[in-house]
Amino acid sequence: MKLKPLADRVVIKMVEAEETTKSGIILTSAAQEKPQVAEVIEVGPGGVVDGKEVEMTVKPGQRVITSKYSGTEIKLDGEEYIVVRQSDILAIVED
């Protein structure tokens, strides 16, 4: 099954939290912060949303930073996804 977002919605999947710090310290699950970095899975077509033209600027495969409590969580085929508005995406992470 595949999710196809509508309008200015974007389907993202959160990236797993790091289990070790840069200095090599292993973190327990309680010490790990909830990640805000996600991978874009699918992007809606954009168009007119609330009377304004919305052009989609993110693309599948990009890593993005989102607002901490934004979106709607969905579980599909054992995988967890979040559907957010493009405006809830704060930045694109580039290597």
Q: What is the pLDDT of residue 69?
A: 86
Specify burial of residue 24 (Cβ count, 10 A radius: 0-12, 13-18, 19+).
exposed
The reported pLDDT for the residue numbered 49 is 85
All structural domains of the chain: 9-16+29-93 (2.30.33.40)
- Spans of the chain below 70 pLDDT: 17-35
Paired strand residues for 23: none
Q: What is the pLDDT of residue 31?
A: 47
Count the helices and strands in the chain (H runs, E runs).
0, 8
Q: Give which of 88, 84, 60, 85 is closest to 74, Cα–Cα.
A: 84
pLDDT for position 82: 96
